[in-house]
């Protein structure tokens, strides 16, 4: 059982994290070819092994689909970090690793005897990635962080939902996922720096910083313009028409992001382009309810698929609103390697969501680019090629013997 080579081939990552942010970060590094060794509490393992339903597999050995979502391309070893054996094995892992990922509350790793100074004493080249809920310092740095709490505290729920009386969380744990992505990005930068300096460093991120970091134009509405944005459902706060609209048999989405697009869209729907309420984007945003009513009155005369074809034909971005099952059956999603096949030790052959990244095969040094200027062949970059070699999420302690034997061989 081996991973295909990738940009991080021969990089060793020790994953001390649990739940989602840290495991997601480590999984992203595994997707890039790193060897990820997940350290779990004996007997229970990562918290997410018990998160469900849904569970799948035999009643005597149920598997959490939550755990499956964030632990592909990893090996699992059980270590009690409060025991002498556990600390000894972790010491070996630290010496052998390039990266250590942890999302303990601030101070926990220190109390286990592995503060940052100790880690870099054991391995000066180690990149340490620390993910917390609200930051490792500051007046509330010690708070435990769970995604929905962070979504509320970081203002995201105040921007999401049908209206101001119904603050709503995002449908996935977006704070955890963003923190994992930021962590992986920071690790990659630190590894690149290490090639020049020879020394590792500590990379820190948090759920709070990751959510605030994607406030984008909603943040500058307050910091620059002094406006407090609120939720407006499935419409864009600064562009109109841009959002979800009802038609005869459901909803579709339209994004009219320029005046040129507005002129084409209005002509298609027979709207009055001379109406001063809708002359410019700022006017359309101000008069959004009236504009929406006019658009939906026209869309009600036809079905979704008909309108998507007609709107798309004039170059206006538009789309359906798919359910999750429809996404994973969509040929376009599959063509991008977004569905992968793995052979799970309990469940057998299963499909998992795939990586968001694809790489063309490396070009040998000195090779000229193809005559047509493309970076690689379509076959080489196909979704099918990208899913080869992925490891299934591991069973608890599945690699105890293998990892221990490897560590012992390093000390031999």
Return the CATH number at 34: 3.40.50.10540
Number of domains in the chain: 3
pLDDT of 371 over the 60 cut: no
pLDDT range class, residue 374, cuts 50, 70, 90: very low
Asked whether residue 246 is assigned to any structural domain, the reply reads yes
**pTM greater than 0.85 (yes/no):** yes
Nearest to 105 by CA among 54, 78, 140, 70: 140
pLDDT range class, residue 381, cuts 50, 70, 90: very low
pLDDT value at position 387? 44
Asked whether residue 227 is assigned to any structural domain, the reply reads no
pLDDT value at position 5? 73
**Are 163 and 205 in a shared domain?**
yes
**Are 264 and 188 in a shared domain?**
no
pLDDT of 3 over the 60 cut: no
pLDDT range class, residue 167, cuts 50, 70, 90: very high
pLDDT of 403 over the 90 cut: yes
pLDDT range class, residue 360, cuts 50, 70, 90: confident
pLDDT of 375 over the 50 cut: no
* Lowest mean pLDDT across 197-201, 301-305, 362-366, 380-384: 380-384
**Are 181 and 269 in a shared domain?**
no
**Are 273 and 158 in a shared domain?**
no
Domain that holds residue 359: 335-385
Q: Using the CB atoms, write b or e for 358-368: b if 16+ within 10 Å.
A: bbeeeeeeeee
Asked whether residue 55 is assigned to any structural domain, the reply reads yes
Q: What is the largest CA-CA distance in the chain?
A: 82
Asked whether residue 364 is assigned to any structural domain, the reply reads yes
**Are 301 and 365 in a shared domain?**
no
pLDDT range class, residue 372, cuts 50, 70, 90: low
Rounded percentage of the chain residues whose pLDDT exceeds 90: 86
DSSP per position, 191-238 = HHHHHHHS---EEEEEHHHHHHTT-HHHHHHHHTT-------TTB-SS
Domain boundary among 263, 285, 319: 319
Give the active site residue among 5, 84, 176, 372.
Answer: 176
**Are 40 and 160 in a shared domain?**
yes
CA dist 256 → 242, 244, 318, 348 (Å): 6, 12, 9, 46
What is residue 300's DSSP assignment? T
Tokens linked to 74: 């990893």
- Would you call 275 a catalytic residue per the annotation? no
What is the average pLDDT score of the chain?
92
Asked whether residue 20 is assigned to any structural domain, the reply reads yes
* Residue 176 exposed, middle or buried by CB count within 10 Å (0-12, 13-18, 19+): buried
Domain boundary among 319, 354, 376: 319
**Are 133 and 186 in a shared domain?**
yes
Asked whether residue 326 is assigned to any structural domain, the reply reads no
User: What is the mean pLDDT of the segment spanning 112-130?
Assistant: 97
CA dist 227 → 220, 221, 223, 224, 231 (Å): 9, 5, 8, 8, 13
pLDDT range class, residue 388, cuts 50, 70, 90: low
Asked whether residue 407 is assigned to any structural domain, the reply reads yes
pLDDT range class, residue 142, cuts 50, 70, 90: confident
**Are 186 and 271 in a shared domain?**
no
The answer to whether 208 and 146 are in contact (CB under 8 A) is no
CATH number at residue 259: 3.30.1540.10
pLDDT of 386 over the 50 cut: no
**Are 249 and 366 in a shared domain?**
no
pLDDT tens digit string along 208-265? 999 999 999 999 999 999 999 999 999 999 999 999 999 999 999 999 999 999 999 9
**Are 407 and 372 in a shared domain?**
no
pLDDT tens digit string along 63-112? 999 999 999 999 999 999 999 999 999 999 999 999 999 999 888 999 99
**Are 375 and 403 in a shared domain?**
no
Rounded percentage of the chain residues whose pLDDT exceeds 70: 93
Asked whether residue 4 is assigned to any structural domain, the reply reads no
Question: φ and ψ at 23, to 5 degrees?
Answer: -55, -35
pLDDT tens digit string along 24-51? 999 999 999 999 999 999 999 999 999 9
Give 122's contacts (C-beta < 8 A, 6+ positions apart). Answer: 91, 94, 95
**Are 29 and 154 in a shared domain?**
yes
pLDDT range class, residue 369, cuts 50, 70, 90: low
């Amino acid at each position: 059982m081996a991973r295909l080579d990738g940009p991080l081939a021969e990089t060793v990552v020790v994953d001390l994290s649990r739940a989602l942010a840290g495991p997601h970060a480590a999984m992203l590094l595994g997707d890039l070819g790193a060897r990820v060794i997940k350290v779990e509490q004996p007997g229970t393992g990562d918290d997410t092994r018990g998160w469900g339903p849904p569970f799948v597999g035999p009643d005597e050995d149920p598997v959490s689909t939550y755990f499956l979502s964030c632990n592909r391309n990893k090996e699992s070893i059980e270590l009690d970090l409060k025991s002498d054996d556990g600390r000894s094995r972790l010491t070996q892992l630290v010496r052998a690793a390039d990266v250590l990922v942890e999302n303990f509350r601030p101070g926990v790793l220190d109390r286990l005897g592995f503060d940052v100074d100790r880690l870099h004493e054991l391995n000066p080249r180690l990149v340490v990635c620390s993910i917390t809920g609200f930051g490792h310092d500051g007046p509330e740095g010690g708070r435990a962080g769970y995604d929905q709490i962070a979504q509320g505290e970081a203002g995201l729920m105040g921007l999401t939902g049908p209206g101001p009386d119904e603050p709503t969380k995002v449908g996935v744990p977006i704070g955890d996922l963003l923190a994992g992505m930021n962590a992986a990005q920071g690790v990659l930068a630190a590894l690149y720096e290490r090639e020049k300096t020879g020394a590792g460093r500590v990379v820190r991120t948090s759920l709070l910083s990751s959510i605030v970091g994607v406030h984008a134009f909603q943040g500058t509405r307050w910091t620059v313009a002094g406006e407090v944005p609120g939720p407006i459902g499935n419409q864009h706060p600064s562009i109109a028409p841009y959002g979800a609209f009802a038609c005869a048999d459901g909803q579709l989405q339209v994004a009219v992001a320029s005046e040129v697009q507005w002129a084409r869209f209005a002509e298609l729907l027979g709207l009055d382009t001379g109406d001063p309420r809708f002359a410019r984007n700022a006017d359309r945003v101000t008069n959004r309810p009236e504009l929406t009513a006019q658009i939906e009155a026209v869309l009600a005369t036809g079905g979704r698929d008909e309108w998507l074809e007609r709107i798309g034909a004039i170059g206006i971005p538009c789309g359906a609103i798919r359910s999750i099952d429809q996404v994973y059956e969509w040929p376009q999603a599959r063509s991008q390697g977004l569905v992968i096949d793995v052979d799970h030790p309990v469940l057998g052959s299963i499909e998992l969501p795939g990586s968001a990244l694809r790489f063309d095969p490396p070009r040998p040094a000195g090779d000229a680019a193809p005559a047509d200027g493309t970076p690689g062949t379509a076959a080489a970059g196909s979704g099918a090629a990208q899913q080869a070699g992925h490891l299934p999420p591991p069973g608890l302690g599945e690699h105890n013997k293998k990892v221990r034997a490897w560590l012992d061989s390093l000390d031999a």
